[in-house]
């Protein structure tokens, strides 16, 4: 008999800078997330269309490859899954409004903050998956 694999929450990382994208992937994987990484909002929207309900956390930069911004993507993500935690980051001041519940982090953010948010989300998800 095979052992069932433990549930791993999905995180969507949307960042056009390869080094930042890879660092976010590593931090989230350390927090037991299954990570899907994209460099454009358009690619991320395809992921959300296919499995948006499964994405628990999305981190996106404001400025991305393609035509859509990370702020626009945040609104799209919340339409697909209102419960997804969204973090939008930028090295510049935010000039557009975020959807309800989304957070803005100014760059440079601390890697420990990513781990802290990921672990809090994973813990909350685990609590909802436990049988009563």
Tens digit of each residue's pLDDT (9 = 90 or more) over 41-59: 999 999 999 987 899 999 9
Do 56 and 48 form a contact (C-beta atoms < 8 A)? no
Give the residue with greater pLDDT, 129 vs 36. 36
Query: What percentage of the chain reaches a pLDDT higher than 70?
Result: 92
């Amino acid at each position: 008999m095979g052992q069932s694999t433990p549930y791993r929450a999905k995180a969507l990382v949307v960042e056009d800078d390869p080094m930042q994208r890879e660092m976010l992937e590593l931090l989230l994987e350390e927090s037991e997330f299954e990570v899907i990484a994209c460099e454009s909002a358009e690619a991320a929207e395809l992921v959300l269309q296919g499995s948006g309900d499964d994405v628990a956390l999305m981190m996106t930069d404001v400025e991305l490859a393609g035509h859509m911004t990370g702020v626009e993507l945040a609104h799209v993500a919340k339409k697909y899954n209102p419960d997804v935690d969204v973090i939008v980051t930028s090295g510049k001041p935010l000039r557009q409004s975020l959807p309800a519940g989304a957070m803005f982090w100014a760059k440079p953010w601390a890697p420990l903050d990513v781990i802290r948010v990921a672990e809090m989300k994973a813990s909350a998800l685990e609590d909802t998956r436990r049988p009563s």
